[in-house]
Amino acid sequence: MPSTSEPLRLTRTPHRLLPDPTRVITRPFHPSDVEIASGEASRIRAILDRVLAIPTEDLPAILERLWREFSSRHRDFERVLDEHYRLVSIHLDLDEPLSRERRLLIGAYFTHEYSIEGAALFNPSIVPAPDQSGLPPGALRFVMSTRAVGEGHISSIGFRVGVIGPAGEMVFDPTSPFAFTGARTPNPAYVKRLFAEKLREVGVDNEVSRRVLARVQERFSTEDLHAACAASKAERVPAVLRCKTLDVIHWLATSSYDVVFQPDSSISERVIFPEGPNESHGMEDARFVRFVEKDGSVSYYATYTAYDGHDILPQLIETADFLHFGVRTLSGSCVQNKGMALFPRRIGGKFAMLSRHDGESLYFLTSDNVRSWSEAKELHVPSNPWEIVQIGNCGSPIETEAGWLVLTHGVGAMRCYAIGALLLDLDDPQRIIGQLAEPLLVPAADEREGYVPNVVYTCGGIVHEGQLVLPYGFSDVGIGIATTPMDELMSRLRDGSAA
């Protein structure tokens, strides 16, 4: 064992994951539905009329060119165009059905490509994959989430998969050339208590909201909520109050939804793209964790930051298979700011979470419900020079025999970000039993330049065969991988020093 005066061994692997602008998804394209200069029709209607005016004999050549240029870039290109045609078909008033060629062409005019990684790829988290079959002894299959940024600086969540071998070697599976979003469906069930709690948090607790909720059961569906809202319109309350309240109720309801991907797709093809109103400008920094319940059942959770262009809000993703994802709002007085990270199991019978809800310090949270957080105690305040500005977690705590390993990020002089570590007591995670006096990871010379310079940041590491495997984003540009021996790291944490 090296002495604590020697540098902690940290190895950067040759891996470099950089943004790939060729990875594109299709999105519905809807021009602003406003009156055009003639005042005769909306822009959507005007475009439809122009496409309908294209001579029938010209359609095959136009479609052939479209297929030649775009069909190889997308799985099931025809289905996409047909779906996007369906979305705008409500603006048509036809005496007879359109031909297949005309429908597909209309769909193409209301479709656009979006390069999910056009600007950046960074801030990963890593967890064991649900399927560990077919591996040699000592190997581990992993799923790594990524924050992908494209046009308009909109963040979405992507995935990479691979295997960590018995000797610690890391091999990524080839990334599919295709990428697509899943099918979005409304949240199948809401919990009245949590729904009411969230309405109160956003300042909506009035006679309209109370009457709407009085009409639904303890667990209710989107259809139940729509019926209750419709019934409230017949009541005698000020119209402005009713409209504003129903708008907020609709906003809250549509912020929770499910996303389902095709079973024959690979994980690297799946993209969770912002769909809810409170994440219209991005889903940032997902912290995935493999969560094991007392009965041994396994789920995966991810906290992330929803951004609507003005405000941020922590939210939760739930999945068992990385195929079906539930996106849910969180409630409670502690659901503020960025950087919530769930412990991988219950502690003392309760869910446990780390947060930075005051904007600068680490807090320890507990709750009986994974979607509601109101109990918090201060855990660690900025103290070292490299974390004077703020400190937060860098992913969910990792359970070891010695304690809970918490990767942290600290912000110091010149707004430089560094990654550090704390060690918490296994039975009482409110007690810090070790910490690094110096950062574990700082930007290397070739990692300092980027969209946000002088930053290294991770949303979660993994321990395998005695090594901490740490994927990290650098300067909001790309992703690197670092490893360090766990025995040395634990020794430095217990000593409270690192050179």
Give me the DSSP letters along 291-305.
EE-TTS-EEEEEEEE
Residue with the two structure tokens 């739930």: 318
Same domain, 203 and 234: yes
Residues 338 and 389 in one domain: yes
Residue 471 located in a structural domain:
yes
Helix axes of 100-109 and 43-52: crossing angle, nearest 10 degrees:
140
- What length does the chain have? 499
Residue pair 209/200 in contact by the 8 Å Cβ criterion? no
Measured CA to CA, the distance from residue 446 to residue 73 in angstroms comes to 33
148 and 263 in a single domain? The answer is yes
| 275 close to 255: Cβ distance less than 8 angstroms | no
pLDDT at residue number 437? 87
Domain presence at residue 5: no
Q: Kindly report the number of other CB atoms within 10 A of residue 17's CB atom.
A: 20
Q: How many CB atoms lie within 10 A of CB 340?
A: 27
Note the pTM of the prediction, 2 decimals: 0.93
Alpha carbon 485 to chain centroid, angstroms: 29
Residue 97 carries which DSSP code?
P
Q: Which amino acid is at 403?
A: G
Closest CA to 318 of 259, 273, 373, 250: 259
* Residue 335, domain member (yes or no): yes
65/17 same-domain check: no
| Rounded distance between C-alpha atoms, residue 392 and residue 213, angstroms | 37
Of 467, 132, 472, give the one whose Cα is nearest residue 298: 132
Distance between start and end Cα atoms, the chain? 15
Question: From CA 295, how far away is CA 408, in angstroms rounded?
Answer: 30
Per-residue pLDDT, 452: 95
Q: How many CB atoms lie within 10 A of CB 438?
A: 16
Quick check: is 92 in a domain?
Answer: yes
Give the per-residue pLDDT at 498. Answer: 36
Q: Per the structure block, which two tokens stand in for 212?
A: 């709407």
- What pLDDT was estimated at residue 42? 84
Q: Which residues of 272-283 are buried (b: 16+ CB within 10 A; e: fewer)?
A: bbbbbebbebbb
Q: How far apart are CA 322 and CA 318, in angstroms?
A: 9
Number of domains forming the structure of the chain: 3
The last residue of a domain, from among 80, 115, 150: 115
Two structure tokens written together for 76 = 């099931």
Q: Nearest Cα to 281, choosing from 253, 261, 309?
A: 309
**136 lies in some domain:** yes
Q: Which stretches of 64-149 are assigned E, i.e. beta strand?
A: 111-115, 120-128, 140-149
Q: What angle do CA 320, 175, 483 make, to 5 degrees?
A: 75
The verdict on 206 and 73 lying in the same domain is: no
Same domain? For 29 and 101 the reply is yes
Together in a domain, 260 and 313:
yes
Range of the domain at 108: 24-115
Question: Do 293 and 225 lie in a common domain?
Answer: no
Domain with 373 in it: what CATH number?
A: 2.115.10.20
Q: Are residues 266 and 286 in the same domain?
A: yes
CA distance readout (Å), 477 to 17, 59, 355, 391: 9, 42, 25, 22
Question: What b/e readout covers 312-339, taking b as 16+ CB neighbours within 10 angstroms?
Answer: bbbbbbbbeebbebbbbbbbbebbbbbb
In a domain, 428, yes or no: yes
Do 378 and 465 fall into the same domain?
A: yes
Output the pLDDT for position 1: 45
Q: Where a domain ends, among 91, 115, 139?
A: 115
Torsion over CA: 278, 279, 281, 283 (sign):
positive
| Final residue of a structural domain among 115, 145, 165 | 115
Q: Per-residue confidence of the chain (499 residues) as pLDDT tens digits?
A: 444 557 789 999 999 999 999 999 999 998 875 555 555 458 899 999 999 999 999 999 999 999 999 999 999 999 999 999 999 999 998 888 999 999 999 999 999 999 999 999 999 999 999 999 999 999 999 999 999 999 999 999 999 999 999 988 999 999 999 999 999 999 889 999 999 999 999 899 999 999 999 999 999 999 999 999 999 887 888 889 989 999 999 999 999 999 999 999 999 999 999 999 999 999 999 999 999 999 999 999 999 999 999 988 899 999 999 999 999 999 999 998 888 999 999 999 999 999 998 989 999 999 999 999 999 999 999 999 999 999 999 999 999 999 999 999 999 999 999 999 999 999 999 999 999 989 999 999 999 999 999 999 999 999 999 999 999 999 999 999 999 999 999 999 988 643 3
pLDDT of residue 59: 97
Q: Is 226 in the same domain as 142? A: no
Beta-bridge mates of residue 99 = none
Identify whether 450 is part of a domain: yes
Longest CA–CA separation in the chain, Å: 84
Identify whether residues 434 and 337 lie together within a single domain. Answer: yes
- Please count the other Cβ atoms lying within 10 Å of the Cβ belonging to residue 75: 17
**Any domain includes 4:** no
